[in-house]
Amino acid sequence: MLWFGFAASLAFDSCSIPGAYVRQGDAKISVTVPAMVASRALKQVGQAAHLELTTTPQTENDILVIRFTDVPVSEAMKRIAEADNGTWKQEGNSFRLIRTSAQARAEEDKEFKMAVERIEKSIRKKADALKTMSQWSQEQADQLAKRVESIVKSFNPAARDGNWYKLANGLSEQAPVGRVVTQIATLMDPKELATLPPHYKIVWSTRPTATQRPLPSGVLPVIEQFAQDQALWGEAIEKHHLTAPTVGGVTYWVGGFGDFRDTAVGKVSTVLLTGQLYANGAVINLNLTAYDEKGKKIAGAEAQLGNDFDAVEEIMNDKAPAPAGEETIVVNGDAKVLVEAMRRAGPSGKSQLPEQLVQKLVHPEEFDPLSLFLSDQLQQVAKIKSVNLVAHLNDDMFLAGVVGSFKAAPVSKYLGRLKDLGCEYELNDGWLIAQPQHPNQGRLTQADRGELGKYLRRVILPRALSIDEQATFAVSLPDEETNAVPKMLSSLVKEDTSDSYYDRNVLRFYGLLTPDQKSKMQAGGMPCNSLTEEQMECVNRMVYSGNSFLQFAPSVRGTMIQEEMDLHNNGILREATESLPNGIPPQGLIKLRIDNSYVVITGDKQNGSYRQTGRAFDASSLAWQKYSQDHPDLFPWMSEESQRLDLSRFKYGKRMQLNFSFQFTDSLSVNQSLEDKSMGDFIDVAFDGLPDEFKKQFQTAYENDAKAYANVKPGDLGAPNRNTNPPPSPN
């Protein structure tokens, strides 16, 4: 009977139990396991149960937290499988934790349903907000223009008033373009929005290209009404002379209105709506832009779906006292040391952790980073509630765990916070079972602990990472935008780990190249159709992501028509799916040029709440920086302290720079550079101590810049309605 009950409770595919276990019956075990990968966690449970418990590739890297007190082994195994959405399968004398295809599909379906519900909730809120607005009319346009005129007069850039921008954004939502993006959002299919891929913009259009999707047919009447309403708003802008505030030659945008010059008078011919995921899929950013028949931008606005952060704000601001007699969940041990160090860090980001903790953090294979916060606190809950615990955590929950740990909380309130920390839980029948809200998504973006350990142990060495090392880690670790754990840990164990703020796509692209491919790119170029699928994915992200690097520069300057430039800079051709409507051309040519030249690197600089790492300059670019700093009357942005650099002392040496050119057409390309700043042979030097040849090149370039700007008057650059493009330097 013992054997039958045990096997049945586990629902094994093969229901035989090792003979040694049958003799001792369904023994009870007590074991506590902090967060660690399932392959290690189950080994510890198996040792306590005198069983061989193993994993498969589907489950081996799942992070488990366990606390058992006198629990029958059969019940313990059942709860582990429940928390990890797995199934036990007996193979000889061992039991493997597997995940069936049906269980995996169920996870995906559940996450998709949650995403749809979140989007539907957000759409309902926007629809309700629309109902509170009066119908658009000339009177409404005039009233809105007066309110906008009033806040423009109150603008003070030195105040950095967040409330001012919040008010400006609120008013821009009442303008026609703000209304129409909200109206269109309410007409979009939540299920389609829930399927948006990461890393890319999806573009809907009234006149779709091969790389775009058609807008729903119900959108067309909304756009036609928008065109009429926009004309009234354009008249109100002219009537009230609305212009964006300009201070010190710098023009500041007013919420979604921009600088008002984009609000052209014209007939709407094409409307593009872009959608992109942010915050690891929690937020969808919608951006609507209207263009006239020539492709000139008429208006644009943004809206967000799914951004319900009220609960997280409550976590940070909660000051409610603990109910009388209720125990409190606190920050213990290493987590307490880490939180206190982070509080002391301030703007510099330097955490000054004790060496013992640093060594733990750089060995995530042995000391999993998820054991710091949620893991320990869930075990506190289990102890206070006198229940057993199995939790499955993922990397998405690390940062949330840090946020939730800055404030201690009574156990009842802490349990209320768990969902806002990305954790679903059930507390009944003497058990606390916790799981991620998005387990399937979390597995896809989880950092391999072995690769993470290699990265962190390299980071703490005194020399900066080389380009090849950075590229290797860009391939082996998840993207920073989908998993913040590697970047966050690196910033904790060393003051400065970001040797450069390169686009991760070009780093990953370089890391995926073979020696033969690099040689071909240097020899004369390699066509895009020679790339692997992974390499092409990197190129596509450079072009079609929300931060497209696509540039327009005709190969023959005589054909550079200003109107065409305007369409690429601020018109419809700025959208990559319009300028490259059929995708990346197969015969697009990729070239690599390696430049080993002498440069100076400026010192690091504190810029507000973050530290700006030193910048590398060759002689010509240093001359330009110096000339522009010497003439803030001509270049008003140089009046801002964040733009000015200390040009008296440098590090000097030879820099290796990798320059990639992705030439897709005669005029469209992506140009990306990577710099090796390991600076092994760099020396500290004052300006006067630089080599004579470098100073000579600097002086020549400085004189050329002076000639180029000899006829430029203060206010010509950066002022409203002026040409902000600098004149070309003379040959």
Q: Over the stretch 578-606, which tens digit does the pLDDT of each residue have? A: 999 999 999 999 999 998 889 998 887 76
Give the lowest-confidence range in 28-32, 65-69, 453-457, 642-646.
Answer: 642-646
What is each CA distance from 182 to 15, 120, 188, 376, in whole angstroms? 57, 13, 10, 43
- Choose among 658, 661, 627: nearest CA to 645: 627
Strands 616-617 and 683-686: unpaired
Greatest mean pLDDT range, 27-41, 288-302, 484-498: 27-41
**Domains of the chain, start order:** 2-99 (3.55.50.30), 105-305 (no CATH), 310-449 (no CATH), 498-708 (no CATH)
The backbone torsions φ and ψ at residue 419, rounded to the nearest 5 degrees and listed phi first, read -65, -35
**Please, are residues 311 and 423 in contact by the beta-carbon 8 Å criterion?**
no
The answer, yes or no, to whether residue 489 has pLDDT greater than 70, is: yes
Residue 600 has which token pair? 């100076």
Residue 530 DSSP symbol = G
Query: Helices 467-476 and 449-459: crossing angle, nearest 10°?
Result: 160
In angstroms, the CA 644 to CA 564 distance is 34
- Choose among 669, 665, 660, 280: nearest CA to 508: 660
Please state the three-class secondary structure of 123-134 as a single string.
HHHHHHHHHCCC
Q: Over the stretch 467-485, which tens digit does the pLDDT of each residue have? A: 999 999 999 999 888 898 9
The answer, yes or no, to whether residue 499 has pLDDT greater than 80, is: no
* Residue predicted with more confidence, 520 or 546: 520
Q: Is 258 left (phi over 0), alpha (psi -120 to 50) or beta?
A: left
> 529-548 burial, b for 16+ CB within 10 Å, e for fewer?
eebeeebbebbbbbbbbeeb
Q: Over the stretch 378-434, which tens digit does the pLDDT of each residue have? A: 999 999 999 999 999 999 888 777 766 666 788 988 888 888 778 899 999 999 999
In angstroms, the CA 97 to CA 134 distance is 59
The answer, yes or no, to whether residue 725 has pLDDT greater than 90, is: no
In angstroms, the CA 367 to CA 36 distance is 7
Q: Over the stretch 635-675, which tens digit does the pLDDT of each residue have? A: 888 888 778 898 989 989 888 889 999 999 999 999 999 98
pLDDT-derived band at 5 (thresholds 50, 70, 90) equals very low
**Please, are residues 571 and 291 in contact by the beta-carbon 8 Å criterion?**
yes
| Element (DSSP H or E) covering residue 296 | none
Amino acid, res. 392: H
pTM: 0.82
Residue-level pLDDT at 278: 80
What burial class does residue 692 get, using C-beta atoms within 10 Å of its C-beta: 0-12 exposed, 13-18 middle, 19+ buried?
Answer: exposed
**Please, are residues 437 and 447 in contact by the beta-carbon 8 Å criterion?**
no
**Please, are residues 415 and 380 in contact by the beta-carbon 8 Å criterion?**
no
Residue-level pLDDT at 84: 96
Q: Over the stretch 98-133, which tens digit does the pLDDT of each residue have? A: 999 999 999 999 999 999 999 999 899 888 888 888
In angstroms, the CA 731 to CA 109 distance is 62
pLDDT-derived band at 564 (thresholds 50, 70, 90) equals confident
- What average pLDDT does this structure show over 192-208? 93
Residue-level pLDDT at 18: 42
The backbone torsions φ and ψ at residue 475, rounded to the nearest 5 degrees and listed phi first, read -80, -40
pLDDT-derived band at 628 (thresholds 50, 70, 90) equals very high
What burial class does residue 416 get, using C-beta atoms within 10 Å of its C-beta: 0-12 exposed, 13-18 middle, 19+ buried?
Answer: middle
Averaged pLDDT of the chain = 84
In angstroms, the CA 649 to CA 669 distance is 36
